[in-house]
Chain A
Amino acid sequence: MLRFVFRRMASALLVMFSLSVLVFLIFFATPGADPVARIAGKNANQQTLREVRKDFGLDRPMPVQYGLMMKRLFVSRDLISTATRDEVVPQVVEAAPITFSLVLGAAILWVIFAIALGLIAAVHRGRTLDAVVMIVGLIGISMPVFWVGEVVNMFTQSRLHDTFLFSWVPPLGYVPLTESPIGWFKALLMPWLTLSILYIGLYARVLRSALVESQEEDYVRTARAKGLTERRVLFRHSLRTSLITFVSLFGLDFGALVGGGALLVEVVFNLHGLGWLTYQALQQFDLPVIMATVVYAAFFVVIVNAAVDLVYALLDPRVRHA
């Protein structure tokens, strides 16, 4: 087990390093991404530009710039954003809990609903309820999340804001849990629902077909022969092994979201998490912030995938994790 943890930590570092180099290269291959003119200000004269370039160390060779940036990000932790002139690490630290609150809440919602809907659909396979559940789920995948968010806002903040339905919805933004748990909940409810709509349909669908398929497995037939009722069979045996695909996908999605993948939801609902930070940084070609968020996201992708690999063994005892 210790070996497993150690190896995965080493992998995390490798992945983070590779991505940081990739990001750096992409950035510098882009004309117009050079931040000097933007830092210096509108219509600065050539001399001013030269001075600013020197000030920010942007006239050094690329490997040196890369090394400096990594040192400032990890060792001295005083890396400065080129857009806001603020320190990057505190920005990331401040944003992380917001994203985490959003993603965790949405994940709980979508897992619960997906399992419920997937089970319903599998049990009533081939009948109307199955079709209805599947159609509703598929519509969820087909509408882009920024559209869903805008429509939700249109109703909860604007059109129906004064009605009893939505007058409790607070203005868009995040309320820290430490400040007011109820406020935190109220502010996050709509974003949770919006983010989970996309995934519920997909996961319900995946679960349903995995359940339906595993029902034909020999061991299920054995369970049935042993006299277990249909429900029991479904729950205990099919569910566990069907969850492999479900868990694989969940690991990927959760890992990506925690690192800032929910940027459109965060922007639409004014939650200043890592996704929002990434969005602002992309708009402003702010390399230091982009670098920090990518490396942070990479770390989580690796960690979550490692956790998933451990869960495989739990789910299907026959699997000995690689």
Chain B
Amino acid sequence: MHRFTRTVLVLVVVTAIAAALGASGRAKTGRVTTVSDHRGGTLKLLAKSAAGTLDPMINYTLAYWQLYQASYDGLLAFKKAGGNEAFTVVPDIAQSVPTPTNGGKKWVFKIRKGIKFSNGKTVKPTDVAASYRRIFKVKSPTSGTFYAGIVGAKACLAHPAGCTLKGGVIANDKAGTVTINLVAPDPEFKYRVSVPHASILPANAPSKDSGSKPIPGTGAYYFASYNPNKALVMKRNPYFKQWSAAAQPDGYVDEITESFGLTDEAEVTEIENGQADWMLEQPPSDRLNEIGTKYASQVHISPLTAFWYVPMNTNLPPFNNLKARQALSYAVDRNATIKIFGGTNLATPSCQVLPPGFPGHKDYCPYTKNPGAHWSAPDLAKAKALVKASGTARQKVTVVSSDDAVNKAVAVYLQSVLNQLGYKAKVKPISANISFTYPQNTKNKVQINVQQWYQDYPTASDFLYVLFGCESFHPGSDSSINMAGFCNKKINAKMHQALKLAVTNEQRANTMWSQIDRMVTDQAPMVTLFNPKHVDFVSKRVGNFTFSKEFYWLVAKSWVQ
């Protein structure tokens, strides 16, 4: 965000000086760059592999959500701005953010006129209603979680093919409105309306996963082609006319391509050579120093509301013992894991669940040499004492992690710590593709694994309730995000209290979430390692880099010439 302000200031100053000089007549200064000059060119993005289906209602990867920002719109949207402003919800296809009536259950959206899809058709309320029905028809992963509160959703979840959402989403083409009725008031609803799963698509979009066939959207760009083994191409939407710079800014570049296949090392080299503009993956650790010194002006480091954590299975030995869990949390040297990640300039140690800057966050760290607000150093003596008291020493532990370099290195480090504490530890890296689903299934009996969690939207419940609520624990299923299997009746009740409170009094709810954060941290269903920062390595020609905390680099807001 600072960089953005600085860039604007520089532009203003340069323009002013040049204007002054130009006004003097025979000025022989260099060409003045104005904003309109930046239009044009192709942005070349790189990614190791394609990220699955292009269907915005099904794809749940950050990689494509980033691209959907410029190609699809919902009724509302997260503001396309840097820093904390990115958490603000602004009206998108709707004219304004409605205040819900009927006890918070009725949302009436007035649709803007004149917005066109990339196939030339104008957006009508019937398209909106069809889109919400489609969420269920294609079995979006969030149909049962985010949108289950819409009237008629229950029937749709049971019989997706014939989904009508009767009484839930009502379109009125003449009045130009769409009314959404909820079963119960939902303070998070405006966020849920703003994510790509609720994109407004043409009513005749296919009722099943569109796979690699692009669906027309309303954004500044549309998907021209998609070959998952080669590349993805986005071009300017010829029917796009900017209606809100905050919701969907007109883009500078004419074309955006994302090529698949290069290894992360090769990606860094291509950007250094100026052959590409940006890489999706984080630069590998052995190139960090290189880009941090020789290409420092092309590196953007942005804090994230995310954390690296180590869930411990509270239903299996040895971590079904509280003392054992706490012991590990005392013993882990968070600085060592930060070193593996890339150093203290890329991550800050943490002991708790909520990341800094999050609503409800209050610094809290009991698992350190001088317990208090912040972590300082591991306390190995205390850890060993706790292990002894727990009686779990010499038990076998298997640390599971993704097989990419950083995750694997963290797992090997944890193995070393566990061995020091007297356990018999093994490391099992598994394919990055299943490293998220595999530990969720209790059948796989994973005792401890290395994970990351990035926010879906800025509410404390997205961390605390989703990760540690009883309702997130589904034994025997690949979809059971509460990997620790943590279910504490008292804490869970308090979580429900906080969820309810958020409807009426967000402030007090957040205070309650702070308390819940402390309670969960004390129970140590996980060892929190650190809050990471995001590294974006771009080529020299990329200008106006804007980082949204919600969707990361805003591709459309940058230029290349």
Contact, chains A and B (beta carbon distance below 8 A): yes
List the interface of chain A (C-beta within 8 A of B). Answer: 31-34, 36-38, 40-49, 51-52, 55, 80-81, 83-86, 91, 94-95, 150, 153, 157-158, 161, 171-173, 267-268, 270, 272, 276-277, 280, 282-285
Complex Cα distance, B53 from A44, in Å, reads 16
User: Which residues of chain A have C-beta atoms less than 8 A from B266's C-beta?
Assistant: 153, 157, 172, 268, 270
Partner of A43, one of B212, B432, B481: B481
CB nearest to B433 among chain A residues: A284
Closest CB of chain A to B444's CB: distance in Å? 6
Asked if residues A33 and B434 are in contact (CB atoms below 8 Å), the reply is yes
Partner of A277, one of B148, B229, B273: B229
Asked if residues B478 and A37 are in contact (CB atoms below 8 Å), the reply is yes
25 A-B pairs, CB-CB below 8 angstroms? Answer: A31-B438, A31-B441, A32-B430, A32-B478, A41-B141, A41-B142, A43-B145, A43-B481, A46-B477, A47-B157, A48-B140, A55-B139, A84-B212, A85-B209, A86-B212, A95-B229, A157-B270, A157-B273, A158-B272, A267-B263, A268-B266, A280-B229, A283-B49, A284-B431, A285-B431
Complex Cα distance, B147 from A101, in Å, reads 50
Asked if residues A173 and B261 are in contact (CB atoms below 8 Å), the reply is yes
Asked if residues A283 and B142 are in contact (CB atoms below 8 Å), the reply is no
Complex Cα distance, B170 from A36, in Å, reads 33
Q: Let me know if B60 is at the binding interface, CB within 8 A.
A: yes
Against A, the Cβ 8 Å flags (1 = close, 0 = not) of B461-487 are 000001000000010011101000000
Against A, the Cβ 8 Å flags (1 = close, 0 = not) of B87-110 are 000000000000000000000000
Asked if residues A171 and B275 are in contact (CB atoms below 8 Å), the reply is yes
Question: Considering residues B144, B261, B265, B273, which has the most beta carbons from chain A within 10 angstroms of its beta carbon?
Answer: B261
Partner of B434, one of A41, A43, A44, A285: A285
Closest CB of chain A to B64's CB: distance in Å? 12
Asked if residues A161 and B160 are in contact (CB atoms below 8 Å), the reply is no
Q: Let me know if B59 is at the binding interface, CB within 8 A.
A: yes
Complex Cα distance, B435 from A285, in Å, reads 12
Asked if residues B140 and A41 are in contact (CB atoms below 8 Å), the reply is yes
User: Which residues of chain A have C-beta atoms less than 8 A from B438's C-beta?
Assistant: 31-32
User: Which residues of chain A have C-beta atoms less than 8 A from B440's C-beta?
Assistant: 37
Question: Considering residues A42, A173, A276, which has the most beta carbons from chain B within 10 angstroms of its beta carbon?
Answer: A42
Complex Cα distance, B137 from A151, in Å, reads 50
Closest CB of chain B to A241's CB: distance in Å? 44
Asked if residues B269 and A84 are in contact (CB atoms below 8 Å), the reply is no
Complex Cα distance, B266 from A268, in Å, reads 8
Q: Let me know if B496 is at the binding interface, CB within 8 A.
A: no
Asked if residues B437 and A44 are in contact (CB atoms below 8 Å), the reply is no
Asked if residues A84 and B229 are in contact (CB atoms below 8 Å), the reply is yes
CB nearest to A269 among chain B residues: B266
CB nearest to B227 among chain A residues: A86
CB nearest to A50 among chain B residues: B139
Closest CB of chain B to A34's CB: distance in Å? 7
Complex Cα distance, B444 from A37, in Å, reads 14
User: Which residues of chain A have C-beta atoms less than 8 A from B443's C-beta?
Assistant: 31
A34 and B273 in contact, given A41-B58, A85-B211 (Cβ under 8 angstroms): no
Closest CB of chain B to A23's CB: distance in Å? 16
CB nearest to B466 among chain A residues: A43
Partner of B479, one of A40, A95, A285: A40
Closest CB of chain B to A283's CB: distance in Å? 5
Partner of B478, one of A36, A157, A283: A36
User: Which residues of chain A have C-beta atoms less than 8 A from B269's C-beta?
Assistant: 153, 157-158
User: Which residues of chain A have C-beta atoms less than 8 A from B158's C-beta?
Assistant: 47
Q: Which 10 pairs across A and B sit closest by C-beta, in order of nearness?
A: A41-B141, A45-B144, A37-B478, A85-B211, A84-B228, A44-B141, A32-B438, A41-B60, A42-B60, A37-B437
Closest CB of chain A to B516's CB: distance in Å? 20
User: Which residues of chain B have C-beta atoms less than 8 A from A86's C-beta?
Assistant: 211-212, 227-229
Asked if residues A171 and B270 are in contact (CB atoms below 8 Å), the reply is yes
CB nearest to A172 among chain B residues: B266
Complex Cα distance, B478 from A52, in Å, reads 13
Complex Cα distance, B210 from A118, in Å, reads 56
Please give 18 more A-B residue pairs, beta carbons under 8 A apart, in addition to A44-B144, A84-B52: A31-B441, A31-B444, A32-B478, A34-B478, A40-B141, A44-B142, A45-B157, A49-B479, A81-B228, A83-B52, A85-B211, A158-B272, A161-B273, A172-B262, A270-B263, A283-B432, A284-B431, A285-B433
Q: Let me know if B230 is at the binding interface, CB within 8 A.
A: yes
Complex Cα distance, B396 from A199, in Å, reads 43
Asked if residues A272 and B466 are in contact (CB atoms below 8 Å), the reply is no
User: Which residues of chain B have C-beta atoms less than 8 A from A42's C-beta?
Assistant: 60, 141, 436
A272 and B261 in contact, given A42-B60, A43-B145, A153-B266 (Cβ under 8 angstroms): yes
Asked if residues B53 and A85 are in contact (CB atoms below 8 Å), the reply is yes
User: Which residues of chain A have C-beta atoms less than 8 A from B332's C-beta?
Assistant: none
User: Which residues of chain B have C-beta atoms less than 8 A from A172's C-beta?
Assistant: 262, 266, 270
Complex Cα distance, B263 from A276, in Å, reads 11
Asked if residues A171 and B273 are in contact (CB atoms below 8 Å), the reply is yes
CB nearest to A268 among chain B residues: B263
Asked if residues B49 and A48 are in contact (CB atoms below 8 Å), the reply is no
Against A, the Cβ 8 Å flags (1 = close, 0 = not) of B230-269 are 1000000000000000000000000000000111011001
Q: Let me know if B539 is at the binding interface, CB within 8 A.
A: no
Complex Cα distance, B270 from A131, in Å, reads 40
User: Which residues of chain B have C-beta atoms less than 8 A from A94's C-beta?
Assistant: 229
Complex Cα distance, B260 from A272, in Å, reads 9
CB nearest to A282 among chain B residues: B431
Q: Let me know if B143 is at the binding interface, CB within 8 A.
A: yes
Asked if residues A40 and B139 are in contact (CB atoms below 8 Å), the reply is yes
CB nearest to B226 among chain A residues: A86
Asked if residues B261 and A38 are in contact (CB atoms below 8 Å), the reply is no
Question: Considering residues B49, B139, B438, which has the most beta carbons from chain A within 10 angstroms of its beta carbon?
Answer: B139
Complex Cα distance, B434 from A172, in Å, reads 28
CB nearest to B54 among chain A residues: A85
Q: Let me know if B182 is at the binding interface, CB within 8 A.
A: no
Q: Let me know if B50 is at the binding interface, CB within 8 A.
A: yes
User: Which residues of chain A have C-beta atoms less than 8 A from B227's C-beta?
Assistant: 86
User: Which residues of chain A have C-beta atoms less than 8 A from B58's C-beta?
Assistant: 41
Complex Cα distance, B433 from A272, in Å, reads 20
CB nearest to B432 among chain A residues: A283
Closest CB of chain B to A102's CB: distance in Å? 14
Complex Cα distance, B144 from A46, in Å, reads 8
Complex Cα distance, B265 from A172, in Å, reads 12
Question: Considering residues B52, B59, B272, B478, which has the most beta carbons from chain A within 10 angstroms of its beta carbon?
Answer: B478
Closest CB of chain A to B494's CB: distance in Å? 22
Closest CB of chain B to A26's CB: distance in Å? 14
Closest CB of chain A to B465's CB: distance in Å? 12
Closest CB of chain A to B228's CB: distance in Å? 4
CB nearest to A43 among chain B residues: B481
CB nearest to B58 among chain A residues: A41
Closest CB of chain B to A156's CB: distance in Å? 10
User: Which residues of chain B have C-beta atoms less than 8 A from A41's C-beta?
Assistant: 58-60, 140-142
Asked if residues B141 and A272 are in contact (CB atoms below 8 Å), the reply is no
User: Which residues of chain A have C-beta atoms less than 8 A from B431's C-beta?
Assistant: 282-285
Complex Cα distance, B50 from A277, in Å, reads 12
CB nearest to A91 among chain B residues: B229
Complex Cα distance, B260 from A284, in Å, reads 15
Asked if residues A52 and B139 are in contact (CB atoms below 8 Å), the reply is yes
Complex Cα distance, B270 from A285, in Å, reads 29
Asked if residues A48 and B275 are in contact (CB atoms below 8 Å), the reply is no
Partner of B441, one of A32, A161, A268: A32
Complex Cα distance, B304 from A176, in Å, reads 42
